[in-house]
A and B are shown apart, each in its own frame.
Chain A
């Protein structure tokens, strides 16, 4: 707010200095070719699914985009305006191949759809659930007919179980009586490990997470770690702790998403750059391994 006022003040003063001293000139952004955007999360026991979209120019804006633009021979991209207001560009000339740890190559077919459970859309899907073990690696190869190719690999992190969850009240009574929540797990000593700890409060389901913590084991390698919150939960709350054990690349991607969220809405803040885990384009390819514990605060 203050920044907008400040800039409008500068403009106003320039106006005051004479006539039309302030000039707004159209910005010519550096030329930048659209890229493939890949998003793929693998989980043990689920059928692999993948979304491949295309990035669009930041400027100029595209006014009144039609609901659907059909692919052509020169631009084999399907433009879809979703009910959510999003306009996505789905390239239709993409072939996707997933290399399993055994070396077997599994093609994922182009079958766009929306997952009814999560509301997330996808463009490619496999046929059989995946089996995996810690330490194995998957590889992804995404190509289109226009010479663009995105590749990535993702390892299966070891399963790190939550040792215990507990809570404690602050000793106050009435409305001031609040609990903290403590999650404890043991870090493997031999490796550099990265974690994301999500706390979801069933009572407060509108908020995605009551706590979303990203951390690495630099300060507690090989030891048990206790993540605690401040006293902010009410008696009767049901909390679910989800502990993801992640590869460094995916951890870095998660961190950059957090930074981007913080930068949103302030055009003068240094913008945040999302760090991809794939090469040759944008996006993320990761294997999710997590442990969950639920606890009711009584």
Chain B
């Protein structure tokens, strides 16, 4: 009998080992009132109402009486209350077996390398020094060890906070890793620095860390008081080839956030693109709710919003034109990036200034362990990225660049126009990360991109983005840390024409913004995480300058007056978990905007459409004087309720305000589109969005199913009067009208995250409507009409099939309804003038869009010792050669009007790219 008992015990241990690291669901909670109940009776009632079985020696517990009231309380928490004052310990294995012992607690897990005797760190290894990062020797060896946290400090009563960082084997911080105790739903997610802070009950704890692309890792700790524990994760090699978009597998259901898509860079690299270059924005366009503005353009519309309503951040610095070469390439070098996150509905309170979405692009920190590099050679571009450690691993540097050789290619092509053409871009980006000590880290990022092209015309276009950010992260204790960020962004464009000496001129535009932001995160308790902070931004815009070139030019110089404004905001947000099933997030951002002088502002006759004919006078504002001030709250609220372990429902409400507007009267986003600040006539754009979603995971979290529905109202966004002139117009208020918008839709997504076949299928039904019905201006008689971004049906399939470790294939399928267009239907004479009879605005649509792309990825061999690891990507963009119309336009040739449909990629485009890393 004792042998049988022992064998059962060992089997139980092994069983628990096998089951460990599984997808631990929130354990059933205990509800009940116990008044002086003997422990044996308590154990019986726990077993009757929960799956927990308590094993104990009756002789050791016979004097114990239990008095407490539990309401949906986790069993470990109840046990801690019951056994806390006694000398008894308890341990729980993965099958809910609870072992209660006096003296030493039962070890429910064997160390990973238990059966490999040599080199095994003893389980009674010396405790980690308190409040010091535990330098794990190598990640895989660590889980078997018990870490003593806070030893030697005043013992905490009840709970203590564990904080630290999660990094990968190269020392790169891991963002979005789920760090939790025994109850995964009470876990926290690492922030952009890989930092976490988790409040746990003191005593023996099992810390679990999970992150996409890494092996699940656990640490056994003995928590005496608050302290620090850094965790290194080991890459999960088999996961490297998977197309997984969301972070942790269970997060889809358990996370409070909705309308968020996180893209890991290695997934982005799998998706076929037009010129073979991994392109973050192109992958964003495949997400449900995101629609392309037009083929060959990286401008995008999120849930029916305009292309200017997306805040694109590169390590917190705003990038105003994230596209190269007409949008065929994104402005970001994929080798530099760690991840990109797109927020479509629940935008965290710390972000503001745009209505529809935030695309937060984060670079890697660089390799803290050794010098490394990566690069690629494509048909039109090449790229190289280098990185290495700084100050023996206390920091890292990372620098990357890209350039084109298309000029050379153009000269080889027949045709004089093409030989005279030029088109090229380059970008350079650098990043430094440095830990001054455990409490202070510095990060610096710089970005520069340049585009220049001249195509079959005498006009040379050029534009540049310059951006930088400097961050200081300071930990103010275990539960509070702050980040001070300074950012700078500049966007400028120019086009010059010098073929005709009498008309030789250059038009220039530039936008500059500098800002400071401070963000604090306070882990107030296990149930409250509070974020607060503030930011202020200063804009300087030179809206246009026309300069004559050469002595013979008859062009009259013209310079529009500079625009200035200050935009500031304060925010406070609290994530609150009243019960394990219910989470709430409530936030308020209050923003304040002032358009500042010096400016001369026209006044117009009230009640009339603003035009040259209705000007009544001018008002002058001095330097720094506010000519218009706007302010208002931006509410952010979200709630999640877990209907079961695998099913949750989430709801959110978001209000956002936008004070800077992009002026474009074409549907494509062009580099000569101006950004304009709000002023006395151009009101801030405001949007309210309500969303509701259901999230369900199937097949051990390997398949995610979600449905999100939203309704959005937009106020004061800009529409244009007919024939509006936007370039070099000193009085833009006469060209624009304030429009109202509403958008609604539902997004269905099924995603498979593991296995040989991965990818997602999504379908979106979305409408985006506009109404211009002000007292002075109407469009379509003031009725609602489809916006330029209204494409009701959109279906996407992204699949990746792995044949073996070295060969995989990706397939994209993309379908959407054609975008709306206004067509001329007829012409006639009225009052001796030829008039065109147009359809109502956006009454017709261009033909539907569909495209299939295919790519093969061939990895080099996986030998450990080799000079560099190479891989080939062979891709065919638009496999079926479908002629998708990009635009329909009408042109007069030899006095006759002809209509054309312009299809950019009317044939399959094969590309080959060689990528390497060392």
Contacts and interface: CB of A to CB of B under 8 A. Distances in A.
A219 B606 contact: yes
A77 B316 CA distance: 68
Interface in A261-281: 261-275
A267 B607 contact: no
B907 A18 contact: yes
A57 interface: yes
Interface centre among B418, B455, B727, B844 (most CB of A within 10 A): B455
Contact of A58 (B836, B889, B909): B836
A7 B902 CA distance: 10
A259 B832 contact: no
Contact of A269 (B613, B724, B828): B724
Nearest to A284: B830
Nearest to B418: A15
B475 interface: no
Interface string B766-791: 00000000010001110000000000
Contact of A13 (B328, B724, B836, B909): B328
A207 interface: no
B607 A282 contact: no
Interface centre among A59, A212, A219, A228 (most CB of B within 10 A): A59
A63 B895 CA distance: 9
B823 interface: yes
B835 interface: yes
Interface in A145-176: none
B827 A58 contact: yes
A191 interface: no
B828 A27 contact: no
Contacts of B616: 228, 230
Interface in A8-30: 8-18, 20-27, 29-30
Interface string A17-49: 110111111110110101101010000000000
Contacts of B605: 215, 227
Interface bracket on B: 35 or more
Contacts of B328: 13, 17
Nearest to B775: A218
A273 B901 CA distance: 22
B621 interface: no
A216 B830 contact: no
A32 B704 CA distance: 48
Given A9-B457, A58-B824, A16 B418 contact: yes
B135 interface: no
B722 A269 contact: yes
B832 A17 contact: no
A275 B838 CA distance: 10
A56 interface: yes
Interface residues of A, number: 78
Contacts of A57: 826-827
A131 to B, nearest CB: 25
Nearest to A209: B613
B840 interface: yes
A289 interface: no
Contacts of A16: 406, 409-410, 413, 418, 421, 423
A61 B895 CA distance: 9
A75 to B, nearest CB: 16
Contacts of A215: 605, 607-608
A22 B904 contact: yes
Interface string B865-883: 0000000000000000001
Given A32-B825, A216-B607, A270-B665, A120 B831 contact: yes
Contact of A37 (B421, B829, B907): B829
A55 B837 contact: yes
B720 A273 contact: no
Contacts of A84: 832
A269 B836 CA distance: 14
A149 B525 CA distance: 77
Interface in A185-234: 211-213, 215-216, 218-220, 227-228, 230
A262 B720 CA distance: 11
B895 to A, nearest CB: 8
Interface string B832-865: 1011111111001000000000000000000000
Contacts of A39: 830-831
B606 A61 contact: no
B822 interface: yes
A212 B613 contact: yes
B903 A23 contact: yes
Contacts of B710: none
Nearest to B455: A12
A236 B485 CA distance: 64
B607 A56 contact: no
A13 B826 contact: no
A121 B833 CA distance: 12
A16 B606 CA distance: 52
Contact of B457 (A8, A53, A211, A273): A8
Contacts of A108: none
B457 A275 contact: no
Interface string B586-629: 00000000000000000001111000011111000000000000
Contacts of B898: 26, 59-61
Interface in B347-380: none
B823 A269 contact: no
Interface in B412-470: 413, 417-418, 421, 423, 453, 455-457, 459, 461
B458 to A, nearest CB: 9
A165 B358 CA distance: 56
Contact of A22 (B413, B495, B831, B902): B902
A88 to B, nearest CB: 5
B891 interface: yes
Interface in B557-576: none
A72 interface: no
Interface string B621-662: 000000000000000000000000000000000000000000
A211 B901 CA distance: 40
B152 interface: no
A11 B566 CA distance: 40
Contacts of A27: 888, 890, 899-901
A263 B830 contact: no
Given A13-B423, A59-B899, 19 more contacts: A6-B670, A10-B904, A12-B417, A12-B418, A16-B418, A26-B901, A27-B899, A29-B899, A59-B824, A86-B832, A211-B613, A213-B614, A230-B617, A260-B836, A263-B722, A266-B665, A271-B836, A273-B838, A273-B840
For the complex of A and B, list the 10 residue pairs with the smallest distance between their C-beta atoms, beginning with the closest: A27-B899, A262-B723, A12-B455, A219-B607, A55-B828, A263-B722, A263-B723, A272-B722, A61-B896, A23-B906
6 contacts: A8-B456, A9-B453, A26-B900, A32-B825, A269-B723, A275-B781
